[in-house]
Amino acid sequence: MDKKLIIEEGKTALGIEFGSTRIKAVLIDEKGLPLASGSYEWENQYVDGIWTYALEEVWKGLQGCYQDLVEDVKKNYNVTLTRIGSLGFSAMMHGYLAFDKENKLLVPFRTWRNTITEEAASKLTEEFNYNIPQRWSIAHLYQAILNKEEHVKDIAFVTTLAGYVHFMLTGNKVLGVGDASGMFPIDIKTGDYDQEMIDKFDQLVSGEGFSWKLRDILPKSLPAGETAGTLTKEGAALLDISGNLQAGIPVCPPEGDAGTGMAATNSVGVRTGNVSAGTSVFAMIVLEKELSKVYPEIDLVTTPDGALVAMVHCNNCTSDLNAWVNLFDEFAESIGAKVDKNKLFSVLYNKALEGDADCGGLISYNYFSGEPVTGFDAGAPLFVRKAEDKFNLANFMRAHLYSSLAALKAGLDLLFKEEKVEVDEMFGHGGLFKTKGVGQRIAAAAMNTSVSVMETAGEGGPWGMALLAAYMQTREENESLKDYLQNKIFAGQTGSRMEPDPQDVAGFEKFMERYMAGLSIEHAAVDAL
């Protein structure tokens, strides 16, 4: 069937994801192939000590992004978009949106970026014997209680950004289990919030006299494949300001950006994982069994269909690397040698592969901001060497590439070395993997496992969200998400797979010994600056 007809007949799925700097929509056909896209740039605000986005901006952004998609469809297919087969929304996970019974926002949206819940996070981690990171919704709620904030008694509903958008468009207070797992721990046997921990929390706050119990105010958790409502008439008008979009579209459970990343990289099955490496970096591995103990460096979340996932999240990845490339760009321009930026990245990244496997003794810390995995609340980018180390361009670039994944490796080593977690394949996506074969080789060395980069990896989260919407609508009875992705979306996709080079692996280990031993130098730099 030709693409125009597919769009006219509504044999499509639409995914819209709210990223930290961009809202993006991707419309796909039933085979998962992108047909059209739209986007809207936005930025968080730092207001009264809180990282936030105004709700007006959420709707302005959603409408702008959808209109951009509509124009793309009109331009390429001469079709006015009125029907869509299925729909889904995703967003940055965690954070805190609290509403009263009139659905009025009680305090400005507190995003995942805020590090204002340390007391609550550590108390809950101890109480639950389960790692509760600062950015989780339950840490925000409990911190508000510890702070004696006036609004808490009026709470009727707490949700994430994706859950809020879904609620306004469908009337349903639900979340995909992956996004729910970043609000409160999930019992993987039931796919629902852990009841024992719910009871512990209610007990913990029982003296406060609230009219609500925790389960009453959390959104219902749903696995991928379930229908989570339909687009209401009011919802259609809110999404499409031109008024052309018909109501009644089935909407799948809203998800977090971690879940859509797993769907987009075909890494929802046990013993698979993915690394997303850009401004920040995180790795996710689908576990065969629960971990033996609590690690503050490791978050436990789930796949969109409820399997247990270990996640290591680091604040810093390519910012320092990019800053050095910009410096070389400035130098080239100063001597009249204007170089294409993509070529410059390619030359410098490939130069790194000529360096010593252990970077010749050089060390770099890429800490633009704090790095919780290695115990830093604040950061200062730092390059350090001894006079006798092998200081050349290849080793210099290699040290910065290693540094971009070093904190991640420190966290993953706990999984691989302490917990003996095994992984068959990791999928890489994000800016670090753009220069063919370089970031991939460094990542394979860091994790001592094969790393694949798919051709579709650039499509990212909104495409992953569209796949989850399509899965809900077109899956066969009892067809798992893993089978659906494997057989219908990624079948026949080659991508490029790279095995770890033993010399690189040994070199990265040596670099890590120096890196971990030198953390006191980074502490001194942070304190001095």
- pLDDT tens, position by position, 350-389: 999 999 999 999 999 999 988 989 989 889 999 999 999 9
Could you list the residue range(s) of the whole structural domain that residue 451 is in? Answer: 266-317+411-497
Sequence-ordered alpha helix ranges (H) in 129-182? 137-146, 161-170, 177-180
**Token code pair at residue 367:** 């800490």
Q: What is the pLDDT of residue 148?
A: 97
Cα–Cα distance between 239 and 169 in angstroms, integer? Answer: 8
pLDDT (tens digit per residue) in 197-214? 999 999 999 999 999 999
Cα–Cα distance between 194 and 361 in angstroms, integer? Answer: 47
Q: What is the pLDDT of residue 136?
A: 96
> Domain containing 280 — which CATH number?
3.30.420.40
Q: Are 317 and 404 in contact (CB under 8 A)?
A: yes
Same domain, 287 and 426: yes
Residue 178 in domain: yes
Same domain, 520 and 481: no
Beta partners for residue 96, in sequence order? 110
Same domain, 436 and 512: no
Q: What is the pLDDT of residue 459?
A: 63
Q: How many distinct structural domains can be found in the chain?
A: 3
Q: Are 162 and 254 in contact (CB under 8 A)?
A: yes
Q: How confident is the prediction for the chain on average, in pLDDT?
A: 95
Do β-strands 86-91 and 50-52 pair in parallel, antiparallel, or remain unpaired?
unpaired
Cα–Cα distance between 281 and 278 in angstroms, integer? Answer: 6
Q: Is the pLDDT of residue 456 over 70?
A: no
Residue 22 in domain: no
State mean pLDDT over 288-298.
93
Q: Is the pLDDT of residue 508 over 80?
A: yes
Same domain, 455 and 336: no
Q: What is residue 74's three-state secondary structure?
A: helix
**CA dist 245 → 8, 69, 233, 458 (Å):** 12, 12, 9, 28
pLDDT (tens digit per residue) in 307-329? 999 999 998 999 999 999 999 99
Q: Is the pLDDT of residue 78 over 70?
A: yes
pLDDT band at 405 (very low <50, low <70, confident <90, very high): very high
Q: Is the pLDDT of residue 458 over 80?
A: no
Q: Are 302 and 178 in contact (CB under 8 A)?
A: yes
State mean pLDDT over 130-145.
96
pLDDT (tens digit per residue) in 212-252? 999 999 999 999 999 999 999 999 999 999 999 999 999 99
**Token code pair at residue 141:** 């709620």
Residue 485 in domain: yes
Same domain, 239 and 336: no
Same domain, 222 and 154: yes
DSSP-derived secondary structure letter, 253: P
Residue 89 in domain: yes
Q: Are 192 and 121 in contact (CB under 8 A)?
A: no
Cα–Cα distance between 19 and 501 in angstroms, integer? Answer: 34
Q: Which residues fall within 8 angstroms of residue 401, CB to CB, at 6 or more apart?
A: 321, 349, 352, 438, 439, 442
Amino acid, res. 87: L
Residue 348 in domain: yes
Residue 5 in domain: no
Residue 12 in domain: no
DSSP 358-402: TGGG-EEE--SS-BGGGTBSS---EEE--TTS--SHHHHHHHHHH
Cα–Cα distance between 478 and 490 in angstroms, integer? Answer: 19
Query: For the whole model, what pTM was predicted?
Result: 0.89
Q: What is the pLDDT of residue 457?
A: 52
pLDDT (tens digit per residue) in 88-130? 999 999 999 999 999 999 999 999 988 899 999 999 999 999 9
Same domain, 303 and 243: no
Q: Are 495 and 455 in contact (CB under 8 A)?
A: yes
pLDDT band at 278 (very low <50, low <70, confident <90, very high): confident
Residue 145 in domain: yes
pLDDT (tens digit per residue) in 426-443? 998 888 888 889 999 999
**Token code pair at residue 260:** 């859509």
Same domain, 214 and 304: no
**CA dist 178 → 60, 214, 324 (Å):** 26, 19, 36
Q: Are 58 and 165 in contact (CB under 8 A)?
A: yes
Amino acid, res. 115: T
Q: Considering only CA atoms, which of 183, 144, 189, 142 is closest in space to residue 162?
A: 183
Same domain, 425 and 295: yes
Its sign, for the CA torsion 247, 249, 255, 261, is negative
Q: Is the pLDDT of residue 158 over 70?
A: yes
State mean pLDDT over 29-53.
94
Residue 401 has φ and ψ, to the nearest 5°, of -70, -45
Exposure on the CB side of residue 218, measured as CA atoms within 13 A: 29
Same domain, 300 and 422: yes
Write out the E strands in 66-180: 86-91, 97-99, 157-159, 174-176
Same domain, 299 and 364: no
Q: Considering only CA atoms, which of 348, 358, 281, 263 is closest in space to residue 318?
A: 281
Q: What is residue 519's three-state secondary structure?
A: helix
Cα–Cα distance between 483 and 464 in angstroms, integer? Answer: 15
Q: What is the pLDDT of residue 494?
A: 65
Cα–Cα distance between 266 and 70 in angstroms, integer? Answer: 28
Q: Considering only CA atoms, which of 397, 396, 391 is closest in space to residue 348?
A: 397
Q: What is the pLDDT of residue 279?
A: 82
Residue burial 439-468, b: 16+ Cβ < 10 Å; e: rest:
bbbbbbbbbbbbbbbbebbebbbbbbbbbb
Same domain, 200 and 171: yes
